[in-house]
Amino acid sequence: MNLETPSMKAKLIAVVCILIVGLAFFLGIQTRLGTHHARENARTNTALVALEFDALGQEYGRLSNAQAESLWGIGDEAFGSALTDETLSDEEWLERGPAADAKTPDPDTEMLPRFLDFANQHPNSPLAFDALFLIIRCGGPQTANVHGKPWHLKEQALDIVWANHSQDPRIAHVFELLGGSLPSQKTEAFLKRASESIPNRAIRAAATFQLARYYHTFAQSQKRSAQVAAKAPLKNVERYWRIVVTPYLQQFPIDWNKNADDIDRLLAIIVNEFADVPVAELNLTGPNNLHVETVPSALPKTFPDLARSMLFAVNNIIPGQPAPEIVGTDADGKPFRLSDYRGKVVLLTFTADWCSDCARIYPIKRNLVKKYRDRPFVLLSVNRDDTLDDLKASTESGKTTWRCWWDGRHGPINSAWNNGGIPDLYLLDDQHIIQDVALSRLTSEEAFKQAIEPLLKKAISRKSGSP
């Protein structure tokens, strides 16, 4: 066969072209099949990871429910509201623990190491972030082993978050947890690094604000230690603070002037550089509320709004200083001011009917109102119920027997006082000077009276002109 002829060359070229096209077609099919299989494998792996996480969540939820039922059977002492047994030494009490009679495993001790293993095995999964968030949320001060709590895992979790999830917008909620936590070198370094190096402005704004809040929390913790040290007898939670938290805080001596300057500097950065950055809120969803979501704030606000509120609180809500004026309307829509009650000792509370911890002390508050009805004393509340009708129903039913400003869930009074959690309580003397006393949902009626009585004597003495 003569390949030199034009016709044979053309036939040969045609055959080669057909072979090339066929090979390309075959390779294309293989590539598409490989891509399809890869996608299917990825989907399968994602589904398996989700099933693994859900199984961990179900076990954690089961243990949490079992512990809650057991603690409920013990009574209020398990939650720190009863006086501790003063016959026990601190070491004996700590060994026994507030919930010593609980017969169920502690869910954090049992499950947090497993959630950390999950995050290490699937470091890039969005569900790894959910697992790490739980560990950080449950972590306490980085102290020695107390009741077997695996608190040291919190700092390991922070390392993994930074390595694999520093660009995830949900990291802002990790900052929020850290902003309200006790001091540690890891926590401070984490917030500083995020505030200085993360490109995303919204994430950087959140880190900067929470670093300022971290310094504010540090100062408040030191003040609480001083209050607990001067108090006796102590509730369970207060004794725990004295035994565990106060020695821990002694590792972090505070420079009050530098701490205040750091807060002012960071909040100024927020106001000047992040004026347009909105605040997002945390939403926990899914089985056992372990899935972390970021949602727009229920009341649209920016980080400068938070900064101005914190500045107001830092500079005005100070023990030994006059309480800032409060102006609003009561359940009947009548305007009134805090200064209307000048000359009376004031127990000022932030509360809401939807808050179960607030409801725990309603009976005590009613008893105080009744006991001091004919004395220079008044109980006033900033009410955070969702609607004015909710407050009206509470007063008409006799549940609330004291005058309230209705402020709504996100009202201006609450925002000005930078009140985050409720109930929040302040005791003012007859000149409305904020008293340096620790009051909370765990304060007994007797402890309230012990704090109020000396102020009433001074008010009566001042009014009568007695020395």
Q: Show pLDDT as tens, one digit a residue, over the chain (467 residues).
A: 454 565 666 666 666 667 666 666 666 666 665 555 555 555 668 899 999 999 999 999 999 888 777 766 555 554 455 556 667 777 777 666 544 445 678 888 899 999 999 999 999 999 999 999 999 998 766 554 555 677 788 989 999 999 999 999 999 999 999 999 889 899 999 999 999 999 999 999 999 999 999 999 999 899 888 888 877 777 777 787 888 888 889 989 999 999 999 999 999 999 999 999 999 999 999 878 899 999 988 777 899 988 988 888 888 888 999 999 999 999 999 999 999 999 999 999 999 999 888 988 999 999 999 999 999 999 999 999 989 999 999 999 999 999 999 998 878 898 888 666 788 899 999 999 999 887 888 788 888 999 999 999 999 888 776 55
Burial class (CB in 10 A: 0-12, 13-18, 19+), 448: buried
Residue where a domain terminates, one of 296, 330, 365: 296
In Å, how far are 258, 268, 316 from 428, measured between CA atoms? Answer: 29, 30, 14
Q: Are residues 425 and 289 in the same domain?
A: no
* Domain CATH for 379: 3.40.30.10
* In a domain? residue 301: no
Say which DSSP state 402 is in: S
* In a domain? residue 40: no
Q: Are residues 88 and 205 in the same domain?
A: yes
* In a domain? residue 42: no
* In a domain? residue 309: no
Calpha distance 166→189 (Å, rounded): 14
Calpha distance 335→338 (Å, rounded): 11
* In a domain? residue 31: no
Evaluate whether 189 touches 162 at the Cβ level (below 8 Å): no
Calpha distance 216→48 (Å, rounded): 43
* In a domain? residue 150: yes
Q: Are residues 326 and 291 in the same domain?
A: no
- Return the SS3 of 278: strand
Q: Are residues 131 and 239 in the same domain?
A: yes
Q: What's the structural domain count of the chain?
A: 2
The residue among 168, 174, 132 whose CA lies nearest residue 153 is 132
Q: Are residues 372 and 438 in the same domain?
A: yes
pTM above 0.75, yes or no: yes
Average pLDDT, the chain: 85
Q: Are residues 108 and 175 in the same domain?
A: yes
Rg (CA), the chain: 30
Q: Quote the domain boundaries for residue 246.
A: 49-296
Q: Are residues 89 and 163 in the same domain?
A: yes
Q: Are residues 209 and 332 in the same domain?
A: no
Q: Are residues 103 and 160 in the same domain?
A: yes
* In a domain? residue 41: no
Q: Are residues 268 and 344 in the same domain?
A: no
Identify the helix (H) or strand (E) that includes residue 163.
helix 153-165
Calpha distance 24→157 (Å, rounded): 49
Q: Are residues 166 and 83 in the same domain?
A: yes
Evaluate whether 423 touches 331 at the Cβ level (below 8 Å): no
* In a domain? residue 191: yes
333-338: list long-range contacts, CB under 8 Å, 24+ apart.
333/388, 336/403, 336/405, 338/380, 338/432
Q: Are residues 287 and 219 in the same domain?
A: yes
